[in-house]
Amino acid sequence: MYGETGAVMREEFAALLRQHRVQQRLVGPTSEDREVLGGLIRAYRQTVLVWLGQAMRAASPLAFSNMPPPQRNPFRSVGAPGSHLTAAGELARAIDLAKQQSTASPASTDALATPNANPMVDHWRLAARAAALAEHDTSERVSAQMTTPQAQALVGDAAALTQALVVLDQRYKNTPGWEPLSQSARLGWASLAAALDVNLGQPDYAVDHLGWRPKTKVITGTARPGVLGVLQAQHNLVVRMRSVPNATNLRLVVDSQRLVSAHLAPYAARIDERLAERWTARAETYSVMQKQLREVGGLLGRGGLAVAEGANAVTRLKALPKDTILEPRVLSGFQLLFHRLDDRIADVIEDGVERGAFFKRVTLPRIVGGGGQLVHPVRERFVPITSATDLAVVKTVRERLRPKDDPPEATPGPTRVDLHSALIHRPTKGRAVEVPNI
């Protein structure tokens, strides 16, 4: 995920920007040893430049300038002769030029994976490794899901990292065998212009949630003790619900969530009363859905493993002592799993109705004869559902189950603030701090 790899790059560059007297930190008995370390740093720098170029290519189609163009001609595309060149486009060209003019090659896999004994060089290695991993987070597949504000946030991150490279390039110029960045002045001004252009708009830092994520797997092995076992079963239930259950198993999963929510609410009430109220309402919603699903049938699908995990969650929850105190992070974990499971169950019901996997139970009229029977069974049939609005459970899903919480507003985060403060910081150790004259 870009939020993780981008944060690592910003943390490592902020640490490098706060390190001065580079030649003293490049510990080596001879100039040749320092030249070897300098060459390794250049390889790490080249890896970062490669990612910066890819990130700018991913954001360029949506990185519109926040400055009004001098000629408002909608028939001229960005980058065409005579059109207005954006600050992001100029930064992308400057990065590509610096990457092409450099004689260094990107760091090898071994160089990225092997820690270095020199702490300063290891900061470069960690930044380069994060840049190599970030190539999956800014690929063409991910950029197709990106919005314009998210692209502007990505451009802002690339501009800040480029400014860091320019500052560090000046600091490392006395390193034996060092190769300065090509046209570093132009690169610095282009990154500053891009950063200012981005700040004129409202970048969306939800771009941190884009990118590659590892596949969620079932937690195997023996049951975890206490409430962790309940979390384990609930997590496995979310994973098992990837396969579509049939109507009977769906009813059992819904019933398990009714019981889990009802039993967890008293534990949550001791820590967070509002969360307990939400879980009580969730239990009532699943109680209504469980009754409404009795009128729905269908044999397509499986869901046996999901039913087993739901039963495990209920059994382990009932075995918890009444005086158990759940930590806030545990409650947050349950809420996250509830949110994902509610969304998945809502999708299963609506998609099942749409593709004809579920049927509606109807009662057929019949003429009761004088056969002497005390009980006359009701004639019932399952008929196809013509419209989703015919089912009461669909209305319940849309109005009560489907999560309606607005996603939290994404913030720049501490790593972006730390990187910008590192870019403008001045060392104060060993000299008097400057104060305003009185």
- For each of the chain's 438 residues, which pLDDT tens digit applies? 788 999 999 999 999 999 988 888 887 667 888 888 999 999 999 999 999 999 999 888 787 776 665 555 666 555 454 445 788 889 999 999 999 999 999 999 999 999 998 999 999 999 999 999 999 888 888 888 889 999 999 999 999 999 999 999 999 998 888 999 999 999 999 999 999 988 888 888 888 888 888 888 999 999 999 999 999 999 999 999 999 999 999 999 999 999 999 999 999 999 999 999 999 999 999 999 999 998 888 888 899 999 999 999 999 999 999 889 999 999 999 999 999 999 999 999 999 888 888 888 777 766 666 666 666 666 677 777 777 777 888 889 988 888 665 566 678 889 989 998 898 877 766 554 454 444
Residue among 12, 198, 3, 170 nearest 91 (CA): 198
Q: Please name the residue that has the structure tokens 């089912």.
A: 391
Task: Write down the mean pLDDT value for the chain.
Answer: 86
Position 435 scores a pLDDT of 43
For the stretch 243-268, pLDDT in tens is 999 999 999 999 999 999 999 999 99
For the stretch 53-90, pLDDT in tens is 999 998 887 877 766 655 556 665 554 544 457 888 89
Position 437 scores a pLDDT of 44
How far apart are the C-alpha atoms of 43 and 320, rounded to whole Å?
A: 55
Position 356 scores a pLDDT of 84
pTM above 0.85, yes or no: no
Q: How many residues belong to the chain?
A: 438
Position 433 scores a pLDDT of 47
Q: Please name the residue that has the structure tokens 């937690």.
A: 219
Position 228 scores a pLDDT of 94
Position 83 scores a pLDDT of 47
Residue among 208, 203, 91, 99 nearest 158 (CA): 91
